[in-house]
Structure 1
Amino acid sequence: MTSALSSKTDFTLAVHGGAGTILRTKMTPEREAAYHAGLRRALEAGRVVLADGGTAIDAVTAAVMTLEDEPLFNAGRGAVYTSAGLQEMDAAIMDGRDRAAGAIAGICGPRNPILAARAVMEKSDHVFLIGDNALNFCRQNGIAFEDASYFFTDQRWDALQETLAMRRSGGEDHDESRKHGTVGAVARDRNGHLAAATSTGGMTAKAPGRVGDSPVIGAGTWADDETCAVSGTGHGEIFIRYAAGHEIASRLRYAGQNLQQAVHGVVVDVLAPVGGSGGVIAVDRSGAFSLTFNCSGMYRGVVTGDGVLRTAIYDEPLVDFR
């Protein structure tokens, strides 16, 4: 499924709340409305920044922070649990102006992991910090922390127990919503600059220490003013092996493809056949966007200079909210 825009625009912000959505048969009207509302809040947070003439990097930060604060999505407060019953969060951010980037992995404590990733980008000489040393860095740089109770949700804990019980019985988990949870944002600001940000709790019952594509620059997160900004959500191991974000940008740079050709070519033609279930949101230097996935759905939304918030979940047109 694809949503795309090809015309030039004042600014563009796209967000996602993860691919592999709750099955339609299990989705209640109330819960569906809550997901749309959460996506709209993230879009509005970023829209305010861009409409005020703010930067793409500030817009994606604001949008992702909003999604991290919403327990419905698998990042920050709604992060899933490892097989050991712990939460290990990953995040990355990238500025298309100069390819500055920051990433963290395997942490729990910072209220907004995306702020930890941004601190790495802006306040260190490094790109990627992990584990306890990343936490120490966050404390030294004034990142707000929360205790474990803040991040606990019954939904994520119950999902862990269900997955572990299924494994003990020899069953296989086919629920995409427990495998692909991520949040992300991409933006083009009024000055034509691009940025991307991605944050996740990973996969339910993942092995302790496992890191997916979200914090890996060039896989789940990428931004370069000359081509595009990308945030992915899906089977992280496959997205890493195929350098999904960078591959999309390379098709624009070297193959002369437009954004939609590049995104479809990677998500549908490359990733899907090898088990890379998921999707990406992307925006290019002209403001064109793509929201493309190869699975049951992707929580997604977009807003441009007209100020209309547009969101969708399943294989359906975007719904306008004014």
Structure 2
Amino acid sequence: MTDGWSLVLHGGAGTITPERIGAGAEAGAGEALARALDAGSAILDAGGAALDAVEAAVRVLEDDPHFNAGRGAAFTRAGTNELDAAIMRGTDRAAGSVAGLTRVRNPVSLARRVMEASPHVLLAGAGAEEFAAGQGVETVDPAWFAVAERRRQLDELLARGGDAFDVDMKYGTVGAVARDRQGHLAAATSTGGVTGKRWGRIGDSPLIGAGTYADDRACAVSCTGSGEQFVRVGVGHEIAARIRLAGEDAGAAAEAALAEVRALGGTGGVIVVTPAGEAIWRFITPGMYRARATSAGLREVALYGEA
């Protein structure tokens, strides 16, 4: 693939089955993944940068309430929505990420501003939102992020005296990885965390090398799943290291990293694209919202486990 492009998306992994999701949510999620695929593919097909494509795709998913990112984010135990995101460029491993946002409509775009307009990689909370104001990034009333189904999930958790991580989870984090016509890679991830989270908990999504990673020498990765285990394994960097240093193919590297996650008691999935344009996903859950397209004509949107 000398001048071809590839794009892979995810909208979360977990207990995603036809019985659990329902026809309405199934159709809505599938349509949103298709729109995000269109947004990223149009940029790549026109010769645009992988970085632009992953940002555009993730923005579509952040604005869609079917996913746990942006509008539709999980509720904290206190009844608020706290948003995290990251973006990374494979050419020079430049990266930006944000955590604990409450007013930024598209966290992935603020993450990009951190990368391009600050000397830092990760900004959090009030400081990140102060930076957003100075950058002219769009903000909204926190009520924009709240949707009834996510509130119901929190109410159900609290009613039975539960806590975060003690339920049959669906991790609705969204992400995108791309290879552009110039052969460069990029990755982006955005999340609302987990229902009932406390104490400003932050998972793997905004942590470079854990939930998000891109290196033109190896691959671009975006993860979704039980964040604590993904952080401990360093999944994004682990996959890249296995490809670059051990010579493993993308599928084997992804499977090995997920096996480590499972060994630590975690679960989830990953999407990976390589410099050669290989576009894959792997998951150790019943399903994962996912989509991919390439300049060779591949186009696929899927929700449930492999047949």
User: For the structure 1 residues 158 and 98, does the alpha-carbon distance in structure 2 shift closer, same or farther, using more than 3 Å as the test?
Assistant: same
What corresponds to 1:320 in structure 2? none
Say whether 1:277 aligns with 2:303: no
Say whether 1:242 aligns with 2:233: yes
User: For the structure 1 residues 304 and 137, does the alpha-carbon distance in structure 2 shift closer, same or farther, using more than 3 Å as the test?
Assistant: same
What corresponds to 1:255 in structure 2? 246
Quick check: 1:82–1:203 contact (8 Å CA) kept in 2?
yes
Deviation at 1:265, TM superposition (A): 1.1
| Stretch moving more, 62-71 or 20-29 | 20-29
Say whether 1:185 aligns with 2:179: no
Q: Which residue of the other structure, out of 170, 175, 184, is the alignment partner of 2:168? A: 175
Say whether 1:59 aligns with 2:53: yes
Question: 1:263-287 CA deviation, whole Å, 9 max, x = no partner?
Answer: 11111x2111221200000101100
**Under a length normalisation based on structure 1, what TM-score does the superposition of the two structures give?**
0.92
Question: 1:18-41 CA deviation, whole Å, 9 max, x = no partner?
Answer: 111443322322321111111101
What corresponds to 2:34 in structure 1? 40
Deviation at 1:308, TM superposition (A): 4.5
Deviation at 1:159, TM superposition (A): 0.6
User: For the structure 1 residues 172 and 197, does the alpha-carbon distance in structure 2 shift closer, same or farther, using more than 3 Å as the test?
Assistant: closer
What corresponds to 1:31 in structure 2? 25
Equivalent position amino acid for 2:167 in 1: H
Q: 1:49, 1:182 → 2: CA distance? A: 23
Deviation at 1:122, TM superposition (A): 0.4
Q: 2:185, 2:286 → 1: CA distance? A: 28
Q: 1:31, 1:88 → 2: CA distance? A: 23
User: For the structure 1 residues 136 and 88, does the alpha-carbon distance in structure 2 shift closer, same or farther, using more than 3 Å as the test?
Assistant: same
Say whether 1:288 aligns with 2:282: no
Deviation at 1:291, TM superposition (A): 0.6
Say whether 1:221 aligns with 2:212: yes
What corresponds to 2:197 in structure 1? 206
Q: 1:181, 1:162 → 2: CA distance? A: 18
Deviation at 1:165, TM superposition (A): 1.6
Quick check: 2:164–2:195 contact (8 Å CA) kept in 1?
no
Quick check: 2:16–2:303 contact (8 Å CA) kept in 1?
no
Deviation at 1:160, TM superposition (A): 0.6
Question: 1:139-158 CA deviation, whole Å, 9 max, x = no partner?
Answer: 00000001122111001111
Equivalent position amino acid for 1:176 in 2: M
Q: Which residue of the other structure, out of 102, 114, 124, is the alignment partner of 1:108? A: 102
- Report the 3-state secondary structure (helix = DSSP H, G, I; strand = E; otherwise coil) of the residue aligned with 2:293: strand
What corresponds to 1:147 in structure 2? 141
What corresponds to 2:187 in structure 1? 196
| Stretch moving more, 186-195 or 78-87 | 78-87
- Report the 3-state secondary structure (helix = DSSP H, G, I; strand = E; otherwise coil) of the residue aligned with 1:313: strand
Structure 1 gap segments, 5+ residues each: 1-6, 318-322
Equivalent position amino acid for 1:17 in 2: G
Q: 2:107, 2:164 → 1: CA distance? A: 33
Quick check: 1:263–1:290 contact (8 Å CA) kept in 2?
no
Deviation at 1:111, TM superposition (A): 0.7
**Under a length normalisation based on structure 2, what TM-score does the superposition of the two structures give?**
0.96
Quick check: 1:16–1:184 contact (8 Å CA) kept in 2?
yes
Structure 2 gap segments, 5+ residues each: none
Q: 2:238, 2:290 → 1: CA distance? A: 22
Q: 1:200, 1:27 → 2: CA distance? A: 19
Quick check: 1:163–1:173 contact (8 Å CA) kept in 2?
no
Q: 1:272, 1:171 → 2: CA distance? A: 19
Q: 2:248, 2:23 → 1: CA distance? A: 39
Quick check: 1:8–1:288 contact (8 Å CA) kept in 2?
no
What corresponds to 1:4 in structure 2? none
Deviation at 1:131, TM superposition (A): 0.5
What corresponds to 2:111 in structure 1? 117
Identity %: 50
Say whether 1:311 aligns with 2:298: no
What is the root-mean-square deviation in Å for CA atoms of aligned residues?
1.6
Question: 1:154-208 CA deviation, whole Å, 9 max, x = no partner?
Answer: 011111111112225x99843211xx22000000000000000000000000113
Quick check: 1:47–1:307 contact (8 Å CA) kept in 2?
no
User: For the structure 1 residues 171 and 84, does the alpha-carbon distance in structure 2 shift closer, same or farther, using more than 3 Å as the test?
Assistant: closer
Equivalent position amino acid for 2:184 in 1: H
